[in-house]
Amino acid sequence: MTKTYFDYDEHDFMRGPYPLTSARIDRLSEQTFGVYVLADDGPNHRNHRLTVYIGRGYIKTRLLRHEEGVNAPRYFSFVEIDSLDPHEANEEAFRIECALFHKYGKARYLNNRIHPARPKGRTDLPLCAESGCTGEAY
Ligand SMILES: [Zn+2]
């Protein structure tokens, strides 16, 4: 079954899209922590991109893993969460990841199989940063 994806939107708060190549990924620092969006070419025309995946974590490590995969998408965008407090950085990344996961149609319209998880050990946070969601994938 072929998936339907939402169109990729440029986000003012994110950098990219860049080609998802090892050469471009290598320019990132190992310490870059944040949220990323993976996009692919649309089937019909140039400059039409589709959003296929939302992720968070140490971006370089995560992107290299995606780049090695079969049918790797062609583009990535990211936002670095540059907080000195790891507690705050994790919470902010979770909030942004949830917002993007919802914006692009959740697991039904993304290659993500599950809803973004709360930061480890943060049972004080809701299961989703979006109101009305209890962490379901669809
Ligand atoms: Zn949610």
Q: What's the rounded Cα separation, in Å, for the pair 136 and 138?
A: 6
Q: Does residue 115 register a pLDDT over 70? A: yes
Average pLDDT over residues 7-21: 95
Q: What's the rounded Cα separation, in Å, for the pair 57 and 38?
A: 14
Cα–ligand 1 centroid distance for 105 (angstroms)? 10
Report the candidate in 36, 33, 35, 37 with the shortest Cα–Cα distance to residue 8: 37
Cα–ligand 1 centroid distance for 22 (angstroms)? 31
Cα–ligand 1 centroid distance for 100 (angstroms)? 10
Cα–ligand 1 centroid distance for 3 (angstroms)? 20
Cα–ligand 1 centroid distance for 136 (angstroms)? 6
Confirm if 110 and 54 have CB atoms less than 8 A apart.
yes
Q: Does residue 32 register a pLDDT over 60? A: yes
pLDDT at 23: 97
Task: Give whole-number Cα distances, 100 to 23, 37, 46, 107, in Å.
Answer: 26, 8, 23, 11
Write out the two tokens for 72.
Answer: 């790797």
Residues above pLDDT 70, as percent of the chain: 99
Cα–ligand 1 centroid distance for 27 (angstroms)? 32
Question: pLDDT band at 43, cuts 50/70/90?
Answer: confident
pLDDT at 11: 92
Cα–ligand 1 centroid distance for 59 (angstroms)? 21
Tell me the pTM.
0.94
Q: Does residue 111 register a pLDDT over 70? A: yes
To the nearest 10°, the Cα dihedral for 110, 112, 114, 115? -70
pLDDT at 1: 53
Task: Give whole-number Cα distances, 106 to 97, 114, 123, in Å.
Answer: 11, 8, 22
In the chain, where are the structural domains located? Answer: 6-109
